[in-house]
Amino acid sequence: LCPKFFQLSEEDGKSRIEGAKRVKKEDEVVAETLEVDKLECLRDAAEACPFNAIHIVNL
């Protein structure tokens, strides 16, 4: 879902947000943030995520 924003990492096989700011803790990415004007397919990806790992915050 939403390949414009999400790509699979070759390092660990997890999805990464293209162009996001990454927050690392002990060499592990624990959060990614991205500012967008339009949600496009991001809401669909958040609803479909089986791990509830995608959160959309309106600032």
Tell me what pLDDT residue 35 has.
92
Say what the pTM is.
0.72
Q: Residue 59 pLDDT > 80, yes or no?
A: no
Q: For residue range 5-54, list pLDDT tens digits in order.
A: 999 989 888 888 999 999 999 988 899 999 999 988 999 999 999 999 99
Q: Which residues does 43 contact at the CB level (< 8 Å), separation at least 6? A: 56
Tell me what pLDDT residue 3 has.
92
Tell me what pLDDT residue 29 has.
86
Q: Which amino acid is at 50?
A: P
- Tokens 């660990």 found at: 12
Domain ranges of the chain: 6-48
Residue 34 CA to residue 17 CA, distance in Å, equals: 8
The counts of H helices and E strands in the chain are 1, 4
